Amino acid sequence: MIPVLSGFIAILALAWGLNTAALDGGQASLPWLIREQGLYLSGLLSIGLMSLAMVLATRPVILERPLGGMDRIFRLHKWAGILAAVFAALHWLIEMSDDLIKALYGRSRRPAEMEFGGLLGTLRDAGEELGEFAIYLVLGMIVLSLWKRFPYKFWRHLHRAMPALYLLLAFHAAVLAPLDYWSQPVGMLLALLLASGTVAAVIALSGRIGRDRRVQGVVTAVSSPAPDVTEVVCRLGGEWRGHRAGQFAFVSFTGLDRFEGAHPFTIASADHGDRTLSFQIKALGDHTRQLAGRVAVGQPVTVEGPYGRFVLERRDRKARQVWVAGGIGVTPFLAWLDELRTRRENAMPVELHYSTRGATQDPFVARLRTLCADLPDVTLHVHDSSAGTAIKPDAFATAQADGARTEVWFCGPPRLGDQLKAALARLWRRRVRFHREAFEMR
């Protein structure tokens, strides 16, 4: 994510720099020139990152391979939006610095402002007013996005206004950009970004995101293996394209709270060719907590997907395999084990570590033991924090370090993943490749 965002920002800055290097500052003083170019650069970075965020919001499957999966696309979308808001705030602050520069350096040698009349003048005035209004709203939405306690069902509907706000800011950028931009590489880049972002915003506002990947189906089984886990089995229509073990899908149940919309859940079963999907849904909020009592057999369901590249077929067969799951993060590994049971030719030695807070009450422990009993190549280790055997990243890494090239696949709590990755990087260094599911859609 960091290399992609850094590279994107570098391209925008380079385009701005090429234009700035060719400018003749004339008689303008340095403080005023810095303010003027700072205004242009911050605005370009803000609208560029917003355009990137808008395109990524359309769930472009074509980018899954180069970017590492839809989970990482969503994370990139999130941070592109956050950075866009940061640069928008900086843009606003630079605009407000007018009076401060006047007080410190006076009005003399200020860059001459171009006068526009007629339609262009009217459009520029409107763009300035609408841009300021939209920036305030965007900043407010970013705050709500980062505030995890704000209910998802309300955040989701507020977030749907972002494409409309983007269109206001795109108009602001198009009419207020310097006229000489449009004959320079920076203008060509800006035009491409605005066009891409506008198309993406229209797709979002028309409700067409993911439409061609939605399939109708019906719930065939509902159970509660634990008080905080709901298992839902669905059979989909013939349009379903199949899935790979470890992928996820967006699921919405007809008749439930329409404010919730579709939620992403990992598919916890392999593809057996019968268009049947199993989901293990953890009670993490109001919607998922009420599913067991509200979803019934025969209920219509809409599934959009599949998405993601946390898949069994990507593993390196020449490297030692270590799989680490924490809590509900076990779901992709349930699908992987299910796949290995039906396709024995894919079997290879695996160390599977499962972290739980209470093994005696955890339904996934028995499920894992049953699956692994048929897979002699898979060695299961259950780490129970209530029994004092929780995963300790340093000890875990030390125990596995024997000089062999190792591939670690992790899905679980972010904090545990960070600790494990840091410990492995410190002890194993280049002998390990660490893969993780970045399953956070907000």
Give the DSSP H/E element, type plus range, for residue 330. none
Residue 26 has, within 13 A of its CA and on its CB side, a CA count of 9
Q: What average pLDDT does range 419-440 have in this prediction? A: 81
Q: What pLDDT, on the 0 to 100 scale, is given for residue 440?
A: 65
Question: Does position 256 have pLDDT exceeding 60, yes or no?
Answer: yes
Q: What pLDDT, on the 0 to 100 scale, is given for residue 25?
A: 55
Omega of the bond prior to 3 within 30 degrees of 0, cis? no
Residue bearing the bigger pLDDT, 35 or 190: 190
DSSP tag of 354: E
Cα angle for residues 35, 89, 112 (degrees, 5° grid)? 25
Residue in 367, 366, 311 with CA at minimum distance from that of residue 334: 367
Buried b (16+ CB within 10 A) or exposed e, 56-82: bbbbeeebbeebbbbbbbbbbbbbbbe
Gap between the Cα atoms of 170 and 194, Å rounded: 6
pLDDT in tens, 181-233: 888 999 999 999 999 999 999 999 998 999 999 999 999 999 988 888 899 99
Q: What pLDDT, on the 0 to 100 scale, is given for residue 257?
A: 56
- Percent of the chain past pLDDT 70, that is, above it, reads 88
Ordered domains of the chain (ranges, CATH): 2-205 (1.20.120), 213-307 (2.40.30.10), 312-436 (3.40.50.80)
pLDDT in tens, 99-158: 787 777 766 766 666 655 566 667 776 777 777 778 888 777 777 777 767 776 677 777
Burial class (CB in 10 A: 0-12, 13-18, 19+), 279: buried
Name the token pair of 223.
């159970």
Q: What pLDDT, on the 0 to 100 scale, is given for residue 27?
A: 65
Q: What average pLDDT does range 165-169 have in this prediction? A: 92
Question: Does position 352 have pLDDT exceeding 90, yes or no?
Answer: yes
Question: Does position 401 have pLDDT exceeding 60, yes or no?
Answer: no
The CA–CA distances, whole Å, from 366 to 305, 360, 362, 370, 374 equal 29, 9, 8, 6, 13
Q: What pLDDT, on the 0 to 100 scale, is given for residue 357?
A: 87
Q: Look up the pTM and report it.
A: 0.88
Q: What average pLDDT does range 343-358 have in this prediction? A: 85
pLDDT in tens, 55-77: 999 999 999 999 989 999 999 99
